[in-house]
Structure 1
Amino acid sequence: MSRIALARIPSLTFYKDSVTASRRGNPIPQLSCIGKPCRLYQPEVVRCTNLGGTGTEVDWKCEADLPEALRLGRVEVSCEGWDGPGDPYVLKGSCGLQYRLVEIPSGLRRGEDPAYPARFSRWVHDLMQDPAALFFMLLWVAAFIFILYNLLSSCFRSRVHPDRGATPRPPPPRWPGSGWFSGGAGPHPDTHDTPPPYSKYPPSASQPRPAEAGGWSPGFWTGAALGWLGTSLMNRQARQRETEYVRAPGMYDWEAERILRPVRTAPYASSPSGSSWWGGAARRRGFDDDDRGEGPSDLGRMRRSTGLGGSNVR
């Protein structure tokens, strides 16, 4: 065991599930997370750099890979004093790090207006950025309103003009000695059929026929057209989100550098014959050294986060 001046330590690296060295007391974990966000994620490695200071007053800058939803907050490097607490000389290997994690709301991460729901704001933004998607959306809304109007008007029309019961017309008076045809004398037997029933509301020229009284109703092709419009709109928005490289208003510098940097294409992975199993040249997905891949579920992609703090000699 040896001692070293705390102010002369250039950098420290801390590992999760590891403990420190100890001479006067019990070892402590190298990494200790404080706060509720610690239940979501904890980094495996944290590296701290000496920013300067004297005695036990030394400032540190710590960096770790975290998901987009989390940030490094306040950090504190705690080391065991060689002779006791407050000693500027500390036991080598006895330093541990206490850090806090801060959870960032999704609206702030994506630069959305906090006055509107996140999904609604993103949906409106996508529509405004794509004129074709906006056109299809308006067309879909117009078709939906047209269908709804016809359905409602047909329903109200049937209620305003219900089917009225018909009353039979009384037969014309017949005098004794007369019949339906002239020239007859005396009573004639009633051999004619009764006339058809009539209504006191004569049909007008504008009144729809019975086959048309039901009004217009949408059919198979109308529904298929609306489904095609909706699918086209959703696919267009999805393609734009995949190919959009414009820097968002709330994007951080590290995000802009990663997204706007040209992606280097990896070497082709091909069979010895120079072609893939599918008959064409095999290709691999492009990669970027700064792209640390997907983070934990619902927390976003991994990126480098920085925290600042001081020292403590125990």
Structure 2
Amino acid sequence: MLLLPFLYPALLTLFAFTPLTTAVKPKNAILLSKVKTLTLRDNAKTSHRRVPAVPQLTCNGPGCRYYKVDVMRCTNQGSDYSSEDIQWSCTANLPEEFKLGSTDVICEGYDSKDDEYVLKGSCAVEYRLLLTEEGEAKYGKSFWDDGSGDSSVEKGMSLLFWLIFMGVLGWILYSMLQNWRDGPANHQARRGGGGGGFGGWGGWRGGGWRRTRR
């Protein structure tokens, strides 16, 4: 009982300081809610701690064949479901043929992927480029068809089909040509043999016996 007056203050002190201790984060661990803007550049890599670095800007889709953003700026538009679920609005200088499509901001969680604190400098953007009216007039259908994996497969299958078709056609033509060349000679040989037999039965019979005796 004598320990109780000393035990309670000690426990209270322990519980009071424990959350403060665990809540302490390094300076490079930040909350996205505190970040007002992000500036990202092509050919630059993110900072990294738990996972490998990635490009700050990654273009997805067919538009990447024609243009890639050099610098993109994303502005914090406030939170959505939680204080750290930030909505970003991204802009970039683009040629008149293109406009920004979807933009996804991704950052590395400091201690885990679910950590609300993120590593400073680890944010990156994955984006898509869409065509404007000027782009549709300039690129048209080729924007979606050229360079895709499916299109390459289709071109390969089409080439294979035509190679097989031309091979079969060539073999048929060659066979027809050979038959045409050999046909008259065989016909004349058959006529010559018939003439000899029809000329006299004796000649045909004698020839037959000579072959038998040999």
| TM value normalised by structure 2 | 0.48
User: With CA pairs under 8 Å and 6+ residues apart, which has the higher RCO, 1 or 2?
Assistant: 1
More helix by share: 2
| TM value normalised by structure 1 | 0.33
